[in-house]
Amino acid sequence: MTESPAEHRGWTAGRTTALSRLRFTSLRLRLVVVFGLVALTAAVSASAIAYWLNREAVLTRTQDAVLRDFQQEMQNRASSLPMHPTQDELQHAAGQMANSSQRFSVLLVATDEHGRTVVGNSDLDTFTLENVPKSLQKAVGRQQPASSDGSHVYHLYWQRIDQNGKPYLVGGAKVIGGGPTGYMLKSLEPEAKDLNSLAWSLGIATGLALIGSALLAQAAATTVLKPVHRLGIAARRLGEGQLDTRLRVSGTDELAELSRTFNRTAAALEKKVADMSARDEASRRFVADMSHELRTPLTAITAVTEVLEEELDAETGGIDPMIEPAVRLVVSETRRLGDLVENLMEVTRFDAGTARLVLDDVDIADQITACIDARAWLDAVELDAERGLMARLDPRRLDVILANLIGNALKHGGSPVRVIVREEDEDLLIRVRDHGPGIPEDVLPHVFDRFYKASASRPRSEGSGLGLSIALENAHIHGGEITAANSPDGGAVFTLRLPRDASALVELEKRDGDQGGGGDDGDGAEGHAR
65-89: pLDDT as tens digits: 888 888 888 888 887 888 888 888 8
User: What mean pLDDT is predicted for residues 141-147?
Assistant: 70
Domain 353-511: homologous superfamily in CATH: Histidine kinase-like ATPase, C-terminal domain (3.30.565.10)
Q: Hey, which residues does 72 pair with through a beta bridge?
A: none
CATH 1.10.287.130 is right for the domain spanning 271-351? yes
Respond yes or no on whether the N-terminal peptide bond of residue 416 is cis (omega within 30° of 0): yes
195: Cβ contacts below 8 Å, ≥ 6 apart: 51, 54, 55, 58
User: What mean pLDDT is predicted for residues 41-59?
Assistant: 82
Helix 189-239, helix 5-76: angle, nearest 10? 160
152-178: pLDDT as tens digits: 566 788 888 888 888 888 999 888 777
Per-residue confidence (pLDDT) for residue 145, from 0 to 100: 67
The yes-or-no verdict on residue 450 having pLDDT over 50 is: yes
Q: What CATH number labels 66-144+151-189?
A: 3.30.450
> What are all long-range contacts of 159-162, with beta carbons under 8 Å and residues at least 24 apart?
159/133, 159/135, 160/59, 160/188, 161/131, 161/133
Per-residue confidence (pLDDT) for residue 529, from 0 to 100: 35
User: What mean pLDDT is predicted for residues 45-55?
Assistant: 82
Q: For the chain, give every domain's residue range.
A: 66-144+151-189, 271-351, 353-511
Give the phi and the psi of residue 424 in degrees, each rounded to 5: -135, 110
The yes-or-no verdict on residue 461 having pLDDT over 70 is: no
Higher confidence at residue 87 or residue 282? 87
Rounded CA separation 341/353 (Å)? 18
Per-residue confidence (pLDDT) for residue 3, from 0 to 100: 47
The yes-or-no verdict on residue 360 having pLDDT over 80 is: yes
Higher confidence at residue 222 or residue 358? 358
For residue 209, which of 404, 45, 417 has the smallest C-alpha distance? Answer: 45
Q: Do domains 271-351 and 353-511 have the same CATH topology?
A: no
For residue 464, which of 415, 399, 397, 525 has the smallest C-alpha distance? Answer: 525
The yes-or-no verdict on residue 357 having pLDDT over 60 is: yes
- Secondary structure (3-state) at 85: coil
